[in-house]
Structure 1
């Protein structure tokens, strides 16, 4: 059962189109996997649509700005042009996109499957490939960890989002299942590890900071490899 979800504030911003691409992709993918959040997003969309199409504005017509009136006329003309276009009625079936890893084949959520993925880099039992998105300091990746693998204990100099797509992993806070949407920041230390292997969509906006052992040697170059 999925226990970790995006906040209501994030979902409202997602519906309004106010989030960076990677974060919006993660929420859309989570919504595809989570019945609870899908219903909540549909309710937010319905409410916003109702406010847009049925909301009343109380503006005195004698003092309404001329440019605002012109904007309204232009919008009405644009809407008329759109609704006069021929509509294609043929339904194109969605093509399921599968991702093969560790002798498994996983159906990727549509929002993730639509992205272009770079090449995988391997470090022991952990493999990562970045999605080719122009997101400024943010980095979106597909990450998979082989059975028995773990990422050394670390905290975060920014935030880290993990959407579990397949398999399970656990850390100091508990065990996660497909669909779990986990957001962490500098307040959290954890050591993710998996018994049977897992596949994740990840998003970070800064380097991880490793706390123990030889992994601490990566901290000076963390900004270059995150």
Structure 2
């Protein structure tokens, strides 16, 4: 069962469409996987809709109010389908990827966003998501069975959304759908027995704490 969710603040910003694209994508994927957050988003969106109609009615003339009543009573579906400006209708086809002989189905939100070729370093493989979002970097991260990421903390923040498989760290174990937010207050050593695929968003370089991995810190800004 999913135990780790976006904060109430993130969900509110997601429903208000004020999140950066990378974070909005991460929340969207989680919501698709999580019935608990689906229910929260439904309530937030309903509250937003009520607020919009309420604000409009407060300043409306009698004529405008009558027109608003007519719109509300009409079929919303008819309004959408009669809009000639919507000229692209498509069905979402499942998209699968293969990483080191592991086959994964991508989440619906990622099916129309391209990603680069996976680059391999030991048991880790990363593919950059083609999303221009300023200093934020989004990736698909695959860890082979028995792999781990050396102990590290964060110079910014890191969102890890587990898509498939399992991993553990000092805080516990994670299942598909878990949404984990880490920043400079946290340090951890993710490892997986069976292998996993994650969607990650980072705002700055990781900072490695132990052993030879500390040699990566001087160039961390180039590889995050």
Per the TM superposition, whether the score is higher than 0.5 is yes
Q: Does 1:5 align with 2:5?
A: yes
Q: Does 1:222 align with 2:220?
A: yes
- Post-superposition Cα deviations, 1:93-112, rounded to whole Å, max 9, x if no partner, equal 43112222343322221112
After superposing the two structures, state which structure 1 stretch, 184-193 or 100-109, moved more. 100-109
Q: Tell me the equivalent position of 2:135.
A: 137
Which TM-score applies when normalising by structure 2? 0.85
Q: Which runs of 5+ in 1 are unaligned?
A: 62-68, 70-75
The within-5 A match list for 1:80-119 is: 85=83, 93-119=91-117
Q: Does 1:206 align with 2:204?
A: yes
Structure 1 residue corresponding to 2:121, chosen from 100, 120, 123:
123
Q: Does 1:173 align with 2:176?
A: no
Q: Structure 1 residues 18 and 87 mapped into 2: Cα distance closer, same or farther (>3 Å)? A: closer
After superposing the two structures, state which structure 1 stretch, 163-172 or 101-110, moved more. 101-110
After TM superposition, give the deviation of residue 196 of structure 1 in Å: 0.3
Q: Structure 1 residues 47 and 219 mapped into 2: Cα distance closer, same or farther (>3 Å)? A: same
Report the aligned-residue RMSD.
2.4
Q: Tell me the equivalent position of 1:30.
A: 30
Secondary structure (helix, strand or coil) at the match of 2:197 reads strand
Give the Cα–Cα distance (whole angstroms) in 2 for the partners of residues 38 and 158 of structure 1: 28
Q: Tell me the equivalent position of 2:43.
A: 43
After TM superposition, give the deviation of residue 48 of structure 1 in Å: 0.7
After TM superposition, give the deviation of residue 192 of structure 1 in Å: 0.4
After TM superposition, give the deviation of residue 43 of structure 1 in Å: 1.2
Secondary structure (helix, strand or coil) at the match of 2:218 reads helix
**Which of structure 1's runs of 4+ aligned residues deviate more than 3 A?**
54-61, 81-88
Give the Cα–Cα distance (whole angstroms) in 1 for the partners of residues 142 and 106 of structure 2: 13
Conserved in 1, the CA contact under 8 Å of 2:93 and 2:111? no
Q: Tell me the equivalent position of 1:64.
A: none
Q: Structure 1 residues 60 and 124 mapped into 2: Cα distance closer, same or farther (>3 Å)? A: closer
Q: Tell me the equivalent position of 1:151.
A: 149
Conserved in 1, the CA contact under 8 Å of 2:92 and 2:111? no
- Post-superposition Cα deviations, 1:17-66, rounded to whole Å, max 9, x if no partner, equal 101111000000000110111111111111111211234665698xxxxx
Give the Cα–Cα distance (whole angstroms) in 1 for the partners of residues 58 and 221 of structure 2: 52
How many equivalent residue pairs?
Answer: 207
Q: Does 1:54 align with 2:54?
A: yes
